[in-house]
Structure 1
């Protein structure tokens, strides 16, 4: 991944200067090329990680960090490693974006919110790595074993907008610059209306 990022950075820099770029590395070989339609300023490069080693390397290498909802102490550890890496190469971590993705399930009733989680997002309750799952059939069979208690500590399932607001506020207080919310149910319009009125306006930076 980091070699790929190196190629992207080379492409951005050379293309902005009107030059071709070459690369020959461990995993990739790039013949002479450039990006022909570049914006005036190169886009930010952010790395998604949930582990401290990658977080530190991201601090050294890229512009910002992306992670997913997790216990606050785990995210504080990620931030510490990210900041450590940034400072080692002379960057100011306070200027580097930190982005969070939060999965949640809201519906007018708890039963409906739970049903949405179990039907639409059962992988949120699977407490094991999923990289070795070989087929949709296998995932479907595993999903049938997910129960309500499997989501505890992993995702908020609730009908009360205030419960969701309190949960999101904890991550705002932690220092995230952008938080992307994913309501796992198909009740998207209803969710957007409720959260735009009762959750987002009440968040405080």
Structure 2
């Protein structure tokens, strides 16, 4: 889940909030299904420029702001995995690739905000690491709907991403393994 631990006190927040309000109930349901199927839920979140911050502080800060209702239903559980990021992609200067390799992940389901920015760039970085990408269109939020449509089309056409409704994501009985012979070990073969 990308950048959903958010204070919503940034530029363009008022344009983002309506899309986030639509996505949060879908995300809460999707997270619940993933957890009940023992599929790891990884939160990847901006650090809001707070370079000494950690995930607990980010969550506490978001929960103390007026838009806490957009964070409460999707808060990380105590055993949730959390990667603090500083730029648009979940992979840029983070341990995300190594974490996914350790988990044996071959597929990622990208959710969160902003579709036309962080979700798009994370999808590209996942694709070039030979990961299969699924994006539930109702579990992402955008600032500009026309750019979201273009981003989803780009992910589908250029990155072979599966663009689906959240209800189509089936976690049951799936280990989400790496495909046989897929070389995406961090720092290794590609």
Alignment TM-score, normalising by the size of structure 1: 0.27
Structure with the higher fraction of residues in helix conformation: 1
**Higher RCO (C-alpha under 8 Å, 6+ residues apart):** 2
Larger radius of gyration: 1
